[in-house]
Chain A
Amino acid sequence: MSKLYPWLFGGALLLAGPGAWAQQPAATTISGDFRGLRFEQFVQRLEAQTPYRFYFDPAATDTVTVRVQADALPLVALLTRVQQTTRLQFAIDEATRRVFVTKDYPLQTQLPDSYFQPGAAPALGPAGPPSPPSAATSAAATAAGSSEFKLYEVGPRQATTPGSKATLSGVVRLADSGRPAIGVAVYVENPSVGASTDREGRYALTLPPGRYNVNIRGMGVRAARRQVWLHGSGQLDLEVAPDVAVLNEVVVEGQKERNVRGLQMGVQTLDIKTIKQVPTVFGEADILRVVMALPGVKTVGEGSTGMSVRGGGTDQNLVLFNDAVIYNPAHLFGFFSAFNPDVIKSVDLYKSAIPVRYGGRLSSVLDIQGREGGRKKFGGSGGIGPLTSRLALEGPLGSRGDGTAKGSYLVSGRASYSDWLLHLVPNSALKNSAASFYDLNAYVTYDFDAHNSLYASGYYSRDRFRLASDTVYNYHNTAASLKWRHDFTDKLQAYFIGAYSSYDFGLSTTRNAAAASTFDYSIKQVSGQANFNYLASAKHTLDFGASSILYNTQPGNLQPLGEQSLLLPVTIQHERAVESAVYASERFDISPKFSVQAGLRYSFFQALGPRTVTNYQEGISRSESTATGTSTYGAGQVLAHYSGPEWRFSTRLELTAHSSVKASLTRMRQYIHQLTNTTVVSPTDSWKLSDNYIRPQVGDQVSLGYYHNFKRNTVEFSLEGYYKRTHDFLDYKSGAILLLNPHLETDLVNAEGRAYGVEALLRKTEGKINGWLSYTYARSLVQVNTATDQVNGGAWYPSNYDKPHDVTLVGNYRFSRRFNASLNFNYSTGRPITLPLAKYYVDQALRVYFSDRNAYRVPDYYRVDLAVNFEGNHKIEKLAHSSWTVAVYNLLGRRNPYSVYFQTVNGQIKGYKLSIFGEPIPTVTYNFRF
């Protein structure tokens, strides 16, 4: 009788709380003075007076002394009194007249009504009677919660006041590698409170104190549950088993409802898994290519990583890799993105409601997060493709002594062997050419304690190509960042980020000994940022911070090469500037269905000396002949100052559980401009800082969206519309000289832009068939109509990025866990082009008269790609896991116009259409992981 069978569930009632007690009929009453009795004696007296049998663990009750007396009290009332003075809990099964006595926690005597409904967890609920204060429990349990069966107590035991809340926070880690589990849902069912882990795997739930089943679900982790008794705010790190057969689980469940419930609009998140499924031309997963398949993002050409987001220019995208800016995210003329897919974790693209912590570019922010190394054991991964190979190694750093590590490292490299390709080209000039690149990454993470973590990232890439043996180009990207996370309290978290980025390119030519030269360009930036996140209450979240960037550019340095060179050295004045910002935004959940986020970023820009600035006559077009003199500024002296507010406002109204409407209003300011007179991103494009004449670009965007999830959140639909205005972006006078121009301001004009469009996205995130289908209607228009300079007579005309219709299908079919196929379909309207209209002869040579700028279009673009992935077997214990990818790019072999151009051939003007990938291109790639 004194044995406890916790798994014995009766069929009658749940003795759960006072409310439940009161509802029971008083079948039997008890009288007597039980004061001073030991519990066992007390039970013997009760069993004598009533038909109830008591089940308890003598070891748990031998210290309990009963201090109650009863006068015809029902059993339930009597036990309630006992419960109030001891830590014992009673569960009565009326059907069998059994009473189960437990210490601290009541026993559940029946299954909850919802037990057999899928998706619902047993409702142990927070309704347990409050425990008496006890000094025996620890204040916080930071040990990793790794057991499903253990109960984790969090926070100091204390009497709780009704309505009080406590915050449960911690880090979710993968049990095998110790890596944080990112984007994993951590939630309790009742009340419905949940959170998704951030990039460090951190989560925080604010709940009334009580007992909960905390569910952890997400991609790459096995769904798990932890029993937590939350007494007060505290930390609980959760360790979950990785889902080895990750192929089975593709979707981040925690983000299932993000489409509808998230406040952010115009944001797209891609994990590396999705990225790797999309077929690419050279078989290697390419982040930027996949980003370009998203609605609202248009490529400026095959074999180019230049992208236009919602009609913006290629320089209006902020590309961040582990918080450091990458200026030229391309290798080998853009055929490869600069990011090694093995070190990427995920990519966020912000198109409209850009968080206040970002600034400095008008159109979008592409935030690329590196992957943390594994924390459990040394490992590696790599791939061998037709043009490049790559290798990544990772492992733990600093053991904690319990098999987990305090940190991890990940180093990787990627190199091309594309030179041989050039030698195959039947062209003598190209046989002498060379083109190669490599990139290196390192990422170190280290947790000093639960409140302090450090993240260090380094990136270096180098491209070098020699064309026809007398001109050598090279360029480098360098980026480094150091991030320190510090939790002041559970509610106030801060990130301190220091970053350095530089980009430089050079070219040397020896074609003519008298004019042999070298040319260099470089831009460097050093930045610091402090970013705070304050969870003021369940309804208010505050983000605030400040950042500052110091720019230093060397716009051009031309030097003679060799003794015979007659060339005069030319060095354009260096440019320096400081761009700073302070920002704050508050998220207010007015009701569960209606929330608002309002933010303000105030940015400042100061162009600094030393510099000599040319002055020009007012009111007429700037040119060398209208210069009136110069002004000289000393070191550190401010020669131009710009500042202004940037507002970020977004709101969400949930219409039903599965649909919502969101709206946003965003203003961005951009102080740095890319100089290019081509539409693609070329390695010789340089960046110019705002100064006395070059005003910052300012962009405003309003957008409105409707979001709907179907089929239990596995199918997402969104419809977003936007309207944008852009002021003062750079356009060029005809024949502008952009490199080595000491008076660049005379070749530039300010243009106005406007863009509008509608983007529809249907995305299926789960199942054998998954992927997305998107349609975009978008226009992008430009106007150059200043007092002195006009294009097309000052009328609005289509920008280079104006491709009104765009349909993209990215589909995936999983035949089995080891075999899946991907299909890619792309259609877009042709790019605008300026066409020749008439011909004439001057000096007996045929010449051409052109149409208005961008008055016509090249033929439409469409392409189908197919890829098949074969995985090796999924045994965990294996030397290496490998997979093969066989892909065909441009399956139909359509000769899509990369460009249309006209050449004078034998006195006739002939139009030509150049297709880069005019035939199906098959590739085979071998990937491995150990």
Chain B
Amino acid sequence: MSLYPRFFLRLSLGAILLGLGGCVESYVPDVATPTTSYLVVDGFINGNGATRIHLARTIALATTSSPPAEKGARLFIFDDQGTRYALTERSAGFYQSDSLLLNPARQYQLRITTAGSGAANYESDLVPLKVTPAIDKLDYYVAGDQVQLRVSTHDATAQSRYYRWSFVETWEFNAAFHSNIEYYAKPGPGQAIISARSTPIYTCWRTERPTDIVQTTSAQLSQDALTDYVVRTIPARAERFKVRYSVLVSEYVETAPEFAYNELLRKNTEAVGTINDPLPVQLTGNVHRVGNAEPVLGYVGAHTLRQQRLFISRADLPARALEDYDTPYNTCQANISYYCDPQGTCDKLGVYDLFRLPAYIPLDFASDAGGDGILGASAECADCRLRGSNVKPSFW
């Protein structure tokens, strides 16, 4: 609690300053790109299931490509008794162990040996395995224009204290327009080039993983219990709620140092460098290269996971007009491309050529004062697959 008033003060102050004639401009610092890239260790030791670790390298700020995977490394989980569990590389840079049930009385670490010319040994600090208590309740609450996701949890033994959550959000949504017809490059026997649609592109499901770090502590409370703690706030007009929304909440318990590390990481990334902020930290984590001071990035903790899923449909929330939702389709338009003028002169091939382009989707045949034609719209407006999957998830 003591952390956020200052943070909040900064945000508000910034806003006041802007009101006084201030301005924010984009700024690209003149910084030489570092020549070396450092190992990034991403993942945690799962006390009840498979441990998945992703190894990669840092990249320059301006780089747009994805970071290079660290391939061919050998990884083991060690406990403080010397027991080891191997991880195997499933795909480039992704390493996975068997499903393990680890003894919570022991401490664990990850040991890595990289391959290739820069071969080196790395290890994380020994950490205790934190066992996460069950989520007592996961619900939502409408607070004005916001929908709050709330979690209640408790630990009677008061061992947990530091909680973190991550989310996987999935929602059903519709494209701006129904498309009843489709362009077939190779029409079947008796089928027109543009004829009835066989691939549904109107209803899709989109999945997002918010990357903000959401964590809190009950250390200042008399009981190790969180009641209706708001873990996530979403505007009620978000597209997520236009049809149906689902969120999978994962809860896990951290150690105090891991909590502190994540708190710093949050401050470091989400807002840094303003004069009112704490100094950014050259934050590396708890992984070290053996016998070398080379920075290694990432914090390998050990805990078990608790998950719970919540659904919210449009009908669950206060009524709202459909056009009142924020969707990327609000500016979409559909137009008729005529192939016959009102006098009956027709030229279908030119119009077919237009719909041959994947960026333009035929919606339906249409006629009006301008003649006969095909109603079409851009793929961004008509093809929901550009923003999601048209395959209904198994849990839906």
State the A residues within 8 Å of B (CB): 300-301, 303-304, 333, 421-422, 424-427, 429-430, 433, 435, 467-468, 471, 473, 507, 509, 512, 514-515, 517, 519, 558, 566-568, 570, 677-680, 682, 684, 734-735, 737, 739-740, 831, 833-853, 856, 895, 897-904, 907, 909-919, 921
By a CB distance below 8 angstroms, the chain A residues around B282 are: 834, 849-853
Partner of B34, one of A333, A677, A838: A838
Q: State the Cβ distance, B263 to closest chain A Cβ, in Å.
A: 7
Q: State the Cβ distance, B60 to closest chain A Cβ, in Å.
A: 6
B358 interfacial by beta-carbon distance below 8 Å: no
By a CB distance below 8 angstroms, the chain B residues around A734 are: 264, 281, 283
Most buried by A among B220, B263, B264: B220
Partner of A682, one of B9, B27, B33: B9
B28 interfacial by beta-carbon distance below 8 Å: yes
Instruction: Identify the closest chain B residue to A570 (Cβ).
Output: B220
B273 touches A833 (CB 8 A): yes
By a CB distance below 8 angstroms, the chain B residues around A850 are: 268, 272, 280-283
Q: Contacts A840-B57, A914-B23 given; 16 further ones with Cβ under 8 A?
A: A422-B19, A429-B12, A677-B279, A678-B277, A680-B276, A840-B297, A843-B42, A844-B209, A895-B25, A897-B27, A899-B274, A901-B271, A901-B272, A901-B277, A917-B20, A921-B20
As a 0/1 sequence over residues 1 to 28 of chain B, the CB contacts with chain A under 8 angstroms (1 = contact) are: 1110110110011111111111111111
Partner of B38, one of A838, A846, A898: A838
Partner of B276, one of A678, A838, A844, A911: A678
- Alpha-carbon separation in the docked complex, A304 to B59 (Å): 37
- Alpha-carbon separation in the docked complex, A842 to B212 (Å): 11
As a 0/1 sequence over residues 257 to 292 of chain B, the CB contacts with chain A under 8 angstroms (1 = contact) are: 000100111011111111111111111000000000
A848 touches B269 (CB 8 A): yes
By a CB distance below 8 angstroms, the chain A residues around B59 are: 838-840
B9 touches A684 (CB 8 A): yes
Instruction: Identify the closest chain B residue to A306 (Cβ).
Output: B275
By a CB distance below 8 angstroms, the chain A residues around B209 are: 844
B222 interfacial by beta-carbon distance below 8 Å: yes
A904 touches B13 (CB 8 A): no
- Alpha-carbon separation in the docked complex, A471 to B274 (Å): 22
Known: A433-B12, A848-B268. A842 touches B42 (CB 8 A): yes
A517 touches B1 (CB 8 A): yes
By a CB distance below 8 angstroms, the chain B residues around A680 are: 275-276
- Alpha-carbon separation in the docked complex, A848 to B267 (Å): 11
- B201-248: which have CB < 8 Å to A? 209, 211-213, 220-223, 227-228, 230
Q: State the Cβ distance, A387 to closest chain B Cβ, in Å.
A: 10
State the B residues within 8 Å of A (CB): 1-3, 5-6, 8-9, 12-29, 31, 33-34, 37-38, 40, 42, 56-61, 63, 67, 166, 209, 211-213, 220-223, 227-228, 230, 260, 263-265, 267-283, 295, 297-298
Instruction: Identify the closest chain A residue to B30 (Cβ).
Output: A856
A430 touches B275 (CB 8 A): no
What are 13 A-B pairs at a CB distance below 8 A? A425-B16, A468-B8, A517-B1, A567-B221, A842-B298, A849-B295, A853-B279, A895-B25, A901-B273, A911-B28, A912-B24, A913-B27, A916-B22
By a CB distance below 8 angstroms, the chain A residues around B265 are: 847
A512 touches B278 (CB 8 A): no
Known: A840-B297, A847-B269. A900 touches B42 (CB 8 A): no
Count of A-B contacts judged by CB separation below 8 Å: 238
- Alpha-carbon separation in the docked complex, A901 to B268 (Å): 10
Instruction: Identify the closest chain A residue to B60 (Cβ).
Output: A838
Instruction: Identify the closest chain A residue to B270 (Cβ).
Output: A904
B23 touches A844 (CB 8 A): no
By a CB distance below 8 angstroms, the chain B residues around A914 are: 14, 17, 22-24, 274
By a CB distance below 8 angstroms, the chain B residues around A898 are: 17, 22, 275
- Alpha-carbon separation in the docked complex, A856 to B29 (Å): 9
Instruction: Identify the closest chain A residue to B1 (Cβ).
Output: A515
Instruction: Identify the closest chain B residue to A911 (Cβ).
Output: B27
- Alpha-carbon separation in the docked complex, A911 to B63 (Å): 14
B15 touches A300 (CB 8 A): no
Q: State the Cβ distance, A822 to closest chain B Cβ, in Å.
A: 21
B25 touches A912 (CB 8 A): yes
Instruction: Identify the closest chain B residue to A834 (Cβ).
Output: B280
A836 touches B61 (CB 8 A): yes
- Alpha-carbon separation in the docked complex, A276 to B23 (Å): 28
- Alpha-carbon separation in the docked complex, A887 to B33 (Å): 44
A916 touches B20 (CB 8 A): yes
Q: At the interface, is chain A mostly helix, strand, loop or mixed?
A: mixed
By a CB distance below 8 angstroms, the chain A residues around B34 are: 837-838
A509 touches B5 (CB 8 A): yes
B61 touches A839 (CB 8 A): yes
- 9 closest A-B pairs by beta carbon, nearest first, are A845-B211, A425-B19, A901-B273, A913-B27, A838-B58, A918-B23, A467-B12, A899-B274, A911-B27
A847 touches B27 (CB 8 A): no
- Alpha-carbon separation in the docked complex, A740 to B6 (Å): 13
- Alpha-carbon separation in the docked complex, A839 to B57 (Å): 9
Instruction: Identify the closest chain B residue to A920 (Cβ).
Output: B21
- Alpha-carbon separation in the docked complex, A422 to B20 (Å): 9
By a CB distance below 8 angstroms, the chain A residues around B269 are: 845-848, 904, 909
Known: A838-B34, A843-B42. A911 touches B19 (CB 8 A): no
Known: A570-B220, A840-B59. A849 touches B12 (CB 8 A): no
By a CB distance below 8 angstroms, the chain B residues around A425 are: 15-16, 18-19
By a CB distance below 8 angstroms, the chain B residues around A831 are: 275
Partner of A917, one of B2, B22, B25: B22
- Alpha-carbon separation in the docked complex, A834 to B19 (Å): 27
By a CB distance below 8 angstroms, the chain A residues around B12 are: 429-430, 433, 467-468
Most buried by A among B16, B23, B263, B297: B16
- Alpha-carbon separation in the docked complex, A705 to B25 (Å): 43
By a CB distance below 8 angstroms, the chain A residues around B1 are: 509, 515, 517, 567
- Alpha-carbon separation in the docked complex, A473 to B13 (Å): 13
A837 touches B31 (CB 8 A): yes
A507 touches B5 (CB 8 A): yes
By a CB distance below 8 angstroms, the chain A residues around B263 are: 735
Q: State the Cβ distance, A929 to closest chain B Cβ, in Å.
A: 29
B297 touches A424 (CB 8 A): no
Most buried by B among A429, A473, A567, A735: A735
A916 touches B17 (CB 8 A): yes
- Alpha-carbon separation in the docked complex, A426 to B16 (Å): 10
By a CB distance below 8 angstroms, the chain B residues around A911 are: 26-29
By a CB distance below 8 angstroms, the chain A residues around B278 are: 677-678, 735
B38 touches A849 (CB 8 A): yes
B23 touches A735 (CB 8 A): no
Instruction: Identify the closest chain B residue to A567 (Cβ).
Output: B220
Known: A735-B260, A842-B297. A915 touches B58 (CB 8 A): no
Q: State the Cβ distance, B349 to closest chain A Cβ, in Å.
A: 42
Q: State the Cβ distance, A911 to closest chain B Cβ, in Å.
A: 4
A900 touches B273 (CB 8 A): yes
A838 touches B273 (CB 8 A): no
B15 touches A921 (CB 8 A): no
Q: State the Cβ distance, A794 to closest chain B Cβ, in Å.
A: 12
- Alpha-carbon separation in the docked complex, A430 to B18 (Å): 11
- Alpha-carbon separation in the docked complex, A904 to B6 (Å): 20
B5 touches A684 (CB 8 A): yes
Partner of B275, one of A507, A512, A679: A679
- Alpha-carbon separation in the docked complex, A301 to B13 (Å): 14
Known: A471-B8, A843-B42, A911-B26. A429 touches B277 (CB 8 A): no
By a CB distance below 8 angstroms, the chain B residues around A834 are: 272-273, 279-280, 282
By a CB distance below 8 angstroms, the chain A residues around B3 are: 737
By a CB distance below 8 angstroms, the chain A residues around B8 are: 467-468, 471
By a CB distance below 8 angstroms, the chain A residues around B280 are: 834, 836, 848, 850
Q: State the Cβ distance, A800 to closest chain B Cβ, in Å.
A: 8
- Alpha-carbon separation in the docked complex, A897 to B26 (Å): 11
A846 touches B2 (CB 8 A): no
By a CB distance below 8 angstroms, the chain B residues around A519 are: 5
A568 touches B31 (CB 8 A): no
